Amino acid sequence: MKTFKLSNYLYNKLIVLTFMLIISSTLYSADDYAKVDQRVQEAIKVSTSWQGPTFGNPMAPDKYIVFVASDLRNDGVNSVVKGMTKSIEGLKWNLHLLDGKGSKVRQSAALNRAIMLKPDGIVLGGIDAKYHENTLKAAQAFGIKIIGWHAANEAGPHPNLGLFTNITTDAEQVGDIAASLAIVDSKEKAQVVIFTDSNYSIATLKANSMASRIIACETCELLSVQDIPLDNIANEMPNAIARLLKQFPNQITHFLVINDLYIDFAIPSLKTSGLAPEDLPKSISAGDGSREAYLRIRSGKHQLATVPEPLFMQGWQITDEFNRAFHDAPDSGFLTPVHLIVRSNIQNIDLKIGVYDPDNQYRDAYRRIWK
């Protein structure tokens, strides 16, 4: 029977996580190496064809949208705002920004302020819709259309939360492809440590998916799951890396992380570990795709891959979903395909911008719909 160690992980998560791993492992076990490898290669491919909606509604005129951001210092939220701003150029739409500044109290105040402005629509950008469920339903009662970006775990409509739709990638698919790459890269001999933050349910989904895929690989091993809060990475990661390298000497082949930030703060300890570069664990991130991550991938040092989101494109999708909502039409149902950025396709990332922006003519596609 395969076992694994959970170090520094909240005890009250242990039974739930173990149960989910057993169930998920059964579901994953049918996939052989060839299928895993095929999924990885498909995710690495660079698609230049538009796979999103091709029909919709003419652009509704004179709309006022308030974007309530979780924290405009966050590059992800900021890039979505930039994409949406670009998408409404030349349209008779106005976009107003309110910044929650990373605080639930400020986010709540910003959302209430947004409702008082009586807009046609509100974007909930990186803010948990469940936490603000009653406020969102009050906004709905005023006829305000609400669209989430990373506001819930799953993409699509969430009428119970007051969301017309929520835009995000599939967290379980993202986690699975990250772990699958570790299996392929190690030729089915991956020895893995996972880093997650149990404060976020979407992070837990990614971590469970990664763990399930590794456990389903009979010749791989899940060594440890590390629960380190995102807001305390700078303090905890250096010591955690040093401890893990000592605990599992010459064993760890890959770090699987739910966000590139973990790798940012792992590097100092990796550099001072005394290990040869070829003996250091390779890092794979199941999200976001930061400029720093792309630079590491291009250099071939410290990071093997990341699973980014097309943030500018998601800004355009928000505009399109609002337009559908204003016409009382259903949401588009579009879910961004999972994509792996590795060294072989890093040339498709403009490192000056630092955002994954697919060359699939999405701007032209949306403009055609809105004519």
Report pLDDT digits (tens) over 16-44.
354 444 444 444 454 689 999 999 999 99
DSSP string, 64-87: EEEEEES-TTSHHHHHHHHHHHHH
d(CA 215, CA 219): 9
Distance of CA 52 to the CA centre of its chain: 19
Residue 359's pLDDT is 92
DSSP, res 189? -
Residue 161 CB neighbour total at 10 angstroms: 21
Residue 55, CA distances (Å) to 28, 86, 288, 368 in order = 36, 20, 29, 8
CATH of domain 63-168+311-332: 3.40.50.2300
Residue 220 CB neighbour total at 10 angstroms: 22
d(CA 135, CA 340): 37
Please report the beta strands in 142-281, taking only residues with DSSP state E, as ranges in sequence order: 145-149, 156-158, 163-167, 191-196, 221-227, 254-257
Residue 263's pLDDT is 96
Instruction: Find the helix or strand (DSSP H, E) in which 180 lies.
Output: helix 171-185
Residue 19's pLDDT is 40
Residue 242's pLDDT is 95
For 310-360, how does the pLDDT look when each residue is reduced to its tens digit (9 = 90+)? 999 999 999 999 999 999 999 999 999 999 999 999 998 988 889 999 999
d(CA 256, CA 251): 14
Q: Do the first three CATH levels of 11-46+171-306 and 63-168+311-332 match, i.e. the same topology?
A: yes
Instruction: Find the helix or strand (DSSP H, E) in which 282 lies.
Output: strand 282-285
Residue 31's pLDDT is 63
How do beta strands 163-167 and 191-196 pair? unpaired
Residue 12's pLDDT is 35
Q: What are the domain boundaries of the chain?
A: 11-46+171-306, 63-168+311-332
d(CA 286, CA 273): 25
Instruction: Find the helix or strand (DSSP H, E) in which 98 lies.
Output: strand 93-99
- Those residues of the chain that have pLDDT short of 70 are 1-31
Q: 11-46+171-306: CATH homologous superfamily?
A: Response regulator (3.40.50.2300)
Residue 359 CB neighbour total at 10 angstroms: 9
